[in-house]
Homo-oligomer: A and B are copies of this chain.
Amino acid sequence: MTSCETCVVRNRAICAGLDNNEISALNAIGRRRTVTPGESLIWEDDDSLLVANVIEGVLKLTTSTEDGREQIVGVAYPSDFIGRPFGQTSSASVVALTDARVCVFSRNDFDRFAREHPELEHKLLERTLAELDRTRSWMMLLGRKNASEKIATFLLEMSDRLAEVGCTPAFGPAKRFSLPFSRQQVADVLGLTIETVSRQFTKLKNDGVIELPSRREVEIVDRIGLQALAG
């Protein structure tokens, strides 16, 4: 079995299901790249020139208004696919939150390869459908939840996603984890201000639901309580 250098992370990669020749061909058109926190890979409204697979690290997908308000519309973890295949422009910017390794493809090359490999397109479709589900459930949060419900939901989701992606030693949701987000970025995910985020974190700590060992570290002390708050 030829290993897929471009995208393999456990068995969630888009190349799962391709045969050896196909994997070699995909390797041939991909190029590894590293990005550092704050560095952009893709710009909103720019021509969609490249797509990529995340190998390691966490990146944010954002949209902004002209007057500088920002909304984080998605978060990409290892094995996630980023960029806009089969489209002229990207609808979101992609910026690294941590040091990250990705495998980038020219969009044209990738589109052509995908069209010739239905199994890959199918994987891409499954992921896109799953991402759409996740995005829709986030709309519920943005439109209908209050600040404390938003924070509780966010912490539970982070705990699940970071565990899933292997950022914690054992499986299952992580009790303690390191946030890849600053307070401002948490606010940009939840549609809140940094002050409201800070106050809600403090409240959860005072109520004994979480511990905050350092700025980026979170420990979930009372998961049941947090789930009740998330609604």
Contact = CB atoms under 8 A, between A and B. Distances in A.
Interface residues of A, number: 43
A70 to B, nearest CB: 7
Contacts of A144: 65, 69-71, 191
B129 A87 contact: yes
Interface stretch (A2-10, A23-31, A114-122, A216-224): A114-122
A52 B180 CA distance: 39
A171 interface: no
Contacts of A229: none
Interface string A80-101: 0000111100011000000000
Interface in A14-64: 61, 63-64
B84 A140 contact: no
A137 B63 contact: yes
A91 B134 CA distance: 9
A169 interface: no
A129 B86 contact: yes
Contact of A74 (B84, B131, B136, B137): B136
Contact of A84 (B61, B118, B122, B129): B129
A73 to B, nearest CB: 4
Contact of A140 (B73, B125, B129): B73
A103 interface: no
Contacts of A125: 86, 121, 124-125, 128
B126 A86 contact: yes
A174 interface: no
Interface string A131-153: 11101111110111100000000
A133 B87 contact: yes
Contacts of A64: 140
A148 to B, nearest CB: 14
Given A71-B144, A84-B133, A135-B136, 14 more contacts: A61-B136, A63-B137, A63-B139, A63-B140, A71-B140, A87-B130, A91-B136, A91-B137, A115-B122, A121-B122, A128-B128, A128-B129, A135-B139, A139-B139
